[in-house]
A and B are shown apart, each in its own frame.
Chain A
Amino acid sequence: MKLKQNLTKSLFASSAAFTLLALGIVTGFIVVNGIHVIDWEFLFSLPKDSGSDGGIFPMILSTVYLILITGAISIPVGVGSAVYISQYTSNEKIINLVRFISQVLSSVPSIVFGLFGLAFLVFFLKMGWSIFVAGIVLSLMAIPTIFQVSEVTFQTIPEIYKEGCYAMGASKWQTITTVLLPIAIPGILTGIILAITRAISEAAAVMYVVGSSLDIPISIFDTGRPLPLHLYVLASEGISMSNAYGTATVLIIIVLSITLISNITVNHYQKRIMGCLN
């Protein structure tokens, strides 16, 4: 019995260790190879000779734009549909349809989204190539995740909070904005971070629509080249492996810091709202 217990325990422990190791090796390998490339000049100057020399400032800027555009589109749509599905409709058909569509959307390969962006947005709607169009494509990929995580979060809020609000004479809108949303925020934020960090790490979805320019994008309607795409070009065309590592390191640092900062914020918020502080 004792032996069996120890065995299962070490089995689970080694799975956990393996996960940790995978993360450590992947990020470690890239950071070790890329960190020496990174200095102020690399971060804040233009690329030279297709990126074999010079910096990645336009790429960082493109990625920052993409974070903002994707967030601005996918957060309201994703959270809004979750609020509608969980609070406003009891029509099973609509609920199942929206759930089904979001499942289908989230299982579509990213390159297909890219192709759709090129065929529909760039050519058919004549929007041309731009960071904005890439943001729309990434939003389409992010919405299902944000919707699914938010919907589950709303469902797990105990009914007693809702009833408590209504019993105070709160309207539906007041109930949602003053009590349900604040309770749901940590969960929703987790979904947002998951969706956005994955979206901005995409090369395939944006390569056909973003224009792949090396210039500094002045506005979101300019063409640009986000970090993952730059990394892809540098590595696949054999331009500069060390700059590819440097770009990858910067991307990892951006994604990790978004994740970390949001985790800290959520923990702090949860402690404050759930009464562990004070």
Chain B
Amino acid sequence: MFKLKINVKNFNVSFSDNQILKNINMKIPKNTVTALIGPSGCGKSTFLRSINRMNDFSSNFKRNGSIYVDGEDIYGENVDVVDLRKRIGMVFQKANPFPMSIFENVAYGLKIHGLKDKKELFDTVKRSLKQAALWGEIKDKLDSSALSLSGGQQQRLCIARTIAISPEVILMDEPCSALDPISTLKIEDLICELKRDYTIVLVTHNMQQAKRSSDLTSFFLDGEVIESGLTKDIFSNPKMEKTEDYILGRFG
């Protein structure tokens, strides 16, 4: 019933001599939300950042194995990383709107990728802000600085900025960890909305969030995937003891 979007095969990552990810295998279907859970330092963020090759910036980053997106190895020789990151957007733990106006933030990706037409720019910005459930709150102050927004609004702005360039996949690295409960709920609603158009991979420390907003869950521990499956199965009937311990809050 699902079309495969991301296929991870025997993927290993180390920084210097420190192996962070050990032999990761994972299948992520299209138009689903996959939650990555696990205690701090278990490698889930490193894994997430491997999917849009953000780890490339660390000079001591080493990996082997492959990540296929639509059947193409993103670590292959002919891959244009800049183009890859256009297709695989990312929302960070800490909202990081650029120090420019709200409008310019959402238009940023479009502009650097060469869109000049004013009307099309405006329409896309408007559509993206609407999709990110932010339009109503800020439509009268598009020219205000993005940094004048609240934390939750800033994070939704970052989501709008990401979807403005129509990526296929959106990676979210604990997008709600710095937000209040109401903003968190808004973003979770948004995630459920977004999966109609995008494939979403979500790193979260919040078990309730994983349960509420994801279809699939993978549990990471010490750089390994301990258990993967449908979220409802993982939370109601985990196969591994470690998974159960973590979900029930016995450690982590």
Contacts and interface: CB of A to CB of B under 8 A. Distances in A.
Interface of A: 90, 158, 160-161, 163-171, 174, 178-179, 182-183, 272-278
Interface of B: 52, 54, 57, 59, 82-86, 89-90, 92, 94, 96-100, 108-109, 112-113, 141, 143-149, 158, 161-162, 165
Contacts of B100: 182, 273
A166 B99 contact: no
Contacts of A178: 98, 108, 112
A275 B97 CA distance: 12
Nearest to A179: B98
A273 B100 CA distance: 6
A169 B98 contact: no
Contacts of B143: 278
18 contacts: A163-B90, A164-B158, A167-B85, A167-B89, A168-B85, A168-B108, A168-B161, A169-B84, A169-B85, A169-B86, A169-B109, A170-B109, A273-B100, A273-B145, A275-B99, A275-B147, A275-B148, A278-B141
Given A161-B99, A169-B85, A169-B112, 20 more contacts: A90-B59, A161-B96, A164-B92, A165-B98, A166-B57, A166-B85, A167-B162, A168-B85, A168-B162, A168-B165, A169-B83, A169-B113, A170-B82, A171-B112, A178-B112, A273-B99, A273-B145, A274-B147, A275-B145, A275-B149
Given A164-B158, A274-B147, A275-B147, A170 B99 contact: no
Give the 8 A-B CB pairs with smallest separation, nearest first.
Answer: A275-B145, A275-B148, A169-B86, A275-B147, A167-B90, A160-B96, A278-B144, A169-B85
Nearest to A277: B145
A168 B109 contact: yes
Nearest to A161: B96
Given A168-B112, A178-B112, A272 B89 contact: no
With a 10 A CB-CB cut-off, give which of A164, A178, A182, A278 has the most chain B CB atoms: A164
Nearest to A167: B90
A163 B98 CA distance: 11
Contacts of B109: 168-170
A191 B113 CA distance: 33
Given A166-B54, A169-B165, A278 B145 contact: yes
With a 10 A CB-CB cut-off, give which of A160, A167, A171, A179 has the most chain B CB atoms: A167
Given A168-B89, A168-B112, A275 B146 contact: yes
Contact of A163 (B92, B145, B146, B149): B92
Contact of A161 (B52, B54, B85, B98): B98
Nearest to B110: A168
Given A167-B89, A274-B145, A174 B96 contact: no
B145 A169 contact: no
Contact of A164 (B83, B86, B98): B98
B211 to A, nearest CB: 27
A163 B158 CA distance: 12
Nearest to A162: B57
Contacts of A276: 145, 148
Contacts of B165: 168-169
A215 B47 CA distance: 70
Given A169-B86, A178-B108, A272 B59 contact: no
A90 B59 CA distance: 8
Contacts of A171: 82, 112
Contacts of B98: 161, 164-165, 178-179
A205 to B, nearest CB: 37
A81 to B, nearest CB: 21
A90 B52 CA distance: 22
